[in-house]
Every structure is written in structure tokens, then in C-alpha cells.
């Protein structure tokens, strides 16, 4: 079963229409600019459980939306 995301503008749409965008948190103790760029580009939090995420509806309304989702079972609590 595919994840269905409730877009506030377009209605319920399949996950393939969206692009996931995580805003990474870079540790403050990194002073080397190259290390900071690596962390920003490649290190992801990958949380398990309830989390807040940003998704871009690339093949629809082309707007960002904020999802509150449980990553363990893909249950979506809210979409704004």
C-alpha cells in the first residue's frame, strides 16, 4: 500500500507526486566549512515515531505543506 498524502489544496494524492524536504540540523561544534556542508547535504535524522516533516507537491499545486506523521506506521495526524 502506498502512502497517500492529504494535500490541503489538491486533496488526497499519492506520495510519488511529492518531494520530501528535511531541514537538517548541523551541529554547532563543527567549524570546518567542508564538514558542515557534508552534514547539511548527507546526514539525516531518520526519526522513528511522530515527527513534523515538510513535503513539496511537485506534480500538483507546487506548494510546500507541513505533515505531522508517525514514521513507524505512516499514520498522518495533520497536514497544513
State how far the Cα of 7 lies from the Cα of 19, in Å rounded to an integer: 13
**Closest C-alpha to 75, from 56, 49, 57, 46:** 49
Structural domain tally of the chain? 1
Instruction: Tell whether pTM > 0.75.
Output: no
Domain limits for position 58 = 4-79
What b/e sequence results for 31-44 when a residue is b if at least 16 CB atoms lie within 10 Å of its CB, and e otherwise?
eeeeeeeeeeeeee
Q: What is the pLDDT of residues 54-78, one digit of tens each?
A: 999 999 999 999 999 998 898 999 8
The CATH number for 27's domain is 3.30.2270.10
- pLDDT tens digits, residue range 9-45? 999 999 999 998 776 666 677 677 787 777 777 777 7
Give the whole-angstrom CA distance, residue 53 versus residue 69. 7
Amino acid at each position: 500500500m502506498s502512502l497517500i498524502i492529504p494535500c490541503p489544496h489538491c486533496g488526497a494524492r499519492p506520495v510519488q507526486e511529492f518531494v520530501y524536504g528535511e531541514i537538517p540540523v548541523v551541529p554547532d561544534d563543527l567549524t570546518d566549512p567542508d564538514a558542515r556542508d557534508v552534514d547539511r547535504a548527507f546526514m539525516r535524522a531518520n526519526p522513528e515515531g511522530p515527527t513534523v516533516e515538510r513535503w513539496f507537491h511537485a506534480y500538483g499545486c507546487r506548494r510546500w505543506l507541513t505533515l505531522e506523521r508517525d514514521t513507524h506506521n505512516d499514520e498522518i495526524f495533520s497536514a497544513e
